[in-house]
Amino acid sequence: MAKRNKITIVGSGNVGATAAHWAVTKELGDVVLIDIIDGIPQGKGLDLFESTPIEGSDCRVLGTNDYKDTANSDVVVITAGSPRKPGMSRDDLLNINVKIVKAVTEQVAKYSPNSILVIVSNPLDAMAYVAQKVSGFPKNRVVGMAGVLDTARFRTFIADALNVSVKDVSTLVLGGHGDEMVPFPRLTTVGGVPLTELMPKDKIEKLVDRARKGGGEIVNLLKTGSAFYAPGAAAIEMVEAILKDKKRILPCAAYLEGQYGAKGIYLGVPVILGANGVEKVIELKLNEEEKAALNKSIQAVQELISKIQL
């Protein structure tokens, strides 16, 4: 008999709890919600478990403070960390979250040594790097979630502006997850038609800018906390690609060894995501403008990573 997949989600704040919700709705497997705060994962986990008869989803949901309960997970989503507060940059979070992600990764690697890690904690590219170094897992088994979210934001704004289905908008956002992210209008199509044929350049630029600042826009509106519905959904899209071996081409933060001129860092690039995690990094031919933008992003990530003390 096939056993159910096991998904652990570390951190049961808004992003973690919402990711758990999406995972259960898609019936991807049993979910363990873990957090250091007593009662929060247990309460949210039980509430979610009680929704399964309504959804018709046969998934068990367990909330816990004990990493023993996470043993033998197939995929572990790490959302733990301090969220951004208004006026805070993702870099301000660096030192606080390095400690948190390091502690979490040590526990996860101990109890689920064969798992694939999907990192959501910010600053994203740096935290994926920390998780890979601390776990000692091969690079394909540690991947960061950013590009799927940034791309979803860009797709949302394009579909809204053109009044078309979001399903028909295909695009890529590469680079570090931050203000240096690089949307690619040249590679953006709507139902196979290039975006550049459907929209003037100045309008595209406005949407690019909004996608870049998408996270900050929500932080400013909420005033306390940051986005969670779309980040949760984006993480679970990646989890689904891994658990169902979908071989999806998705923009993810992957460890680079010379691709795009970057070495020894995590950066958002198109990858094939399947049962082995990052199965391939796809290297695109970039024009000069795109290269310059991506290099700026690479420098920003390298700078962050150089500040990390493990």
Angle at Cα 77 formed by Cα 293 and Cα 258, nearest 5°? 35
Strand partners for 61: 31
User: Do residues 135 and 109 touch, judged by C-beta distance below 8 A?
Assistant: yes
Three-state DSSP at 277 gives: strand
Q: Encoding tokens for residue 204?
A: 């595209």
Three-state DSSP at 252 gives: strand
Largest separation between any pair of C-alpha atoms in the chain: 57
d(CA 228, CA 175): 21
Residue 286 is classified by DSSP as P
From the candidates 6, 44, 141, 177, which is the catalytic residue?
Answer: 177
User: Do residues 272 and 282 touch, judged by C-beta distance below 8 A?
Assistant: yes
Q: Encoding tokens for residue 236?
A: 């679970």
Angle at Cα 266 formed by Cα 126 and Cα 113, nearest 5°? 85
- Active site (annotated) includes residue 177: yes
User: Do residues 35 and 17 touch, judged by C-beta distance below 8 A?
Assistant: no
The DSSP H or E segment spanning 36 is none
Q: What is the set of active-site residues?
A: 177
